Every structure is written in C-alpha cells, then in structure tokens.
Amino acid sequence: MNLKVLLPFHIFAEKSGVSRIVAETREGSFGLLPHRLDCVAALTPGILIFETAAEGEVYVAVDEGVLVKIGPDVLVSVRRALGGKNLDKLRDAVEQEFLTLDEREQSVRSVMAKLEAGFLRRFASFQHE
C-alpha cells in the first residue's frame, strides 16, 4: 500500500510498500491490509501504526482526522502528527504537544465561545419579537 499522512500545510510522511496499517476510531482500532475494500474512517487522537519491510513497525501519534483508502492508496489527513519508533518517547511528546493547550489556543476558544453565546442570545431575541 502507499501511505500519505497529510497535515494542514505540508505532507508529514509518504511511504510506499506498507504491508499493514492500524488506526484508531471512536469504535476502536482497526487494521488495513493491502486487499481490504475501500473505506473512509473518522480518526480519533491516538497512535497510527504502519509497517514496511525497510523500517519495520513505525508509530505516529495523530490528532483527530480522516483516513481514506482507495485501492492501494491510503490518505490520512490530521491536524497534528508526531512520529517515532519508541512508544515511551512518543507518549511524552504527545503529552507536551497535543494534551496541553497553549495560552493562545485557550484564548481563541474563549472568544469563540463568547461569540457563539452572543449569537444565540440575539437569535433567541429575534424569535420572540
């Protein structure tokens, strides 16, 4: 299979000769082998595993996203990704990168929540008139 991991602004990984892929969804993890039927899956934050003859088993921590398999091509589109072969180091990197929101992201979420609340209040007042 040919695997391509896409981030919003660049290609994170592009591998050919992938023999298997394991991804995580809300329903649990599932595996892809080369002759599996085409499919689409919504991914949850977790570990994407793929295996090639040259590299062996490779782990990629991914944020939520989408996996699409069409023939031999598998496209994974996610917001963030970190790769590695050591799960302990990858776990530490995930905690630092994915699980802690920086101040800017928290302030943007706060502003968006206020805008949504204001919109809903105004929308409700129009319905009462």
Q: How far is CA 51 from the centre of its chain?
A: 18
Q: In this predicted model, what pLDDT tens digit does every residue of 21-55 receive, in sequence order?
A: 999 999 989 999 998 899 999 998 888 999 999 98
The token pair that represents 40 in the structure block? 């689409």
- Average pLDDT of the chain? 86
Contact 57, 49 (CB under 8 A): yes
Per-residue pLDDT at 101: 59
The token pair that represents 34 in the structure block? 């080369």
Per-residue pLDDT at 99: 63
Q: What is the mean pLDDT of residues 6-25?
A: 94
Distance in angstroms (rounded) separating the CA atoms of residues 70 and 6: 15
Contact 68, 75 (CB under 8 A): yes
Facing residues of 43 across strands? 25, 65
